[in-house]
C-alpha cells in the first residue's frame, strides 16, 4: 500500500464522515467534510548503511518525518468547528489508535493546537474552518545494488630505494 492510502485508512475513522485529499483539482464535497495534505517531508538524523550482501545489495534505512495537515470545513452556525479536530488529536493518544498506526509503520508523535481558521468567502458569507497539524514519522527502507568486487589486481613498483619519495613544494 502507499503512504496516502495508509493515512486515509487510519485518519478516516478518526474524523468520521467525508475525508478527501486536498489540492486534487476536483469539486468540493458537501459540507461538512475534512481534507488532508502531506506537507514538509524531511530526513531525521543520518541513514544507516548495512554491509553489502553476497549479491552486492546494500540496505539503507533512515527515519523520515512529515506533517499531515487536516482541515475541517462546515457550514456557518453549526457546532464548534474546532471540536471535531480536537477529538482527533485526543484519539491519537489512545493505545488502540497508536497500535493501528504502528501496524502500518507510522507514528503520530505530536500534534499542533487546533486552530479556527474561518474565512470570509465573499462580503457576506463566512466559511467555518479548523486546522490541525499532525507530526508523523516512519522508517524509510531502500536497497542499493552497489555490486561486488570479484577479483582485484594490485601491482606495485619498487624503485630500489627503501623509502618512497614524495615531492612536496613547501618553503624551507
| Residue-wise pLDDT tens digits, 61-75 | 999 999 999 999 987
What would the pLDDT profile of 71-104 be if each residue is shown by its tens digit?
Answer: 999 877 667 789 999 999 999 999 999 999 999 9
Q: Tell me the pTM.
A: 0.78
Class of domain 3-145: alpha beta
Grid cell in block for residue 163: 623509502
Sign, Cα dihedral of 115, 70, 137, 91: positive
Cβ 110 vs Cβ 66: under 8 Å: no
**Backbone φ and ψ of 108, nearest 5°:** -95, 100
Distance, in Å, from the CA atom of 70 to the CA atom of 52, rounded to the nearest integer, reads 41
**What are the domain boundaries of the chain?**
3-145
Predicted pLDDT of residue 76: 73
* pLDDT over threshold 90, residue 110: yes
Mean pLDDT of 101-124: 89
Mean pLDDT of 52-59: 92
Amino acid at each position: 500500500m502507499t503512504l496516502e492510502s495508509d493515512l486515509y485508512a487510519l485518519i478516516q475513522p478518526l474524523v468520521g464522515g467525508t475525508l478527501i485529499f486536498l489540492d486534487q483539482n476536483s469539486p468540493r464535497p458537501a459540507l461538512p467534510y475534512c481534507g488532508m495534505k502531506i506537507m514538509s517531508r524531511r530526513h531525521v538524523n543520518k541513514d544507516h548503511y548495512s554491509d553489502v550482501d553476497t549479491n552486492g545489495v546494500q540496505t539503507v534505512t533512515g527515519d523520515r518525518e512529515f506533517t499531515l495537515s487536516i482541515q475541517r470545513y462546515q457550514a456557518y452556525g453549526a457546532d464548534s468547528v474546532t471540536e471535531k479536530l480536537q477529538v482527533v488529536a485526543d484519539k491519537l493518544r489512545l493505545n488502540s489508535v497508536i497500535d493501528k498506526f504502528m501496524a502500518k509503520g507510522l507514528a503520530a508523535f505530536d500534534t499542533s493546537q487546533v486552530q479556527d481558521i474561518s474565512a470570509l468567502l465573499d462580503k457576506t458569507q463566512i466559511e467555518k474552518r479548523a486546522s490541525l497539524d499532525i507530526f508523523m514519522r516512519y522508517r524509510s527502507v531502500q536497497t542499493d545494488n552497489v555490486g561486488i568486487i570479484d577479483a582485484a589486481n594490485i601491482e606495485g613498483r619498487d624503485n630500489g630505494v627503501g623509502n618512497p619519495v614524495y615531492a612536496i613544494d613547501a618553503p624551507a
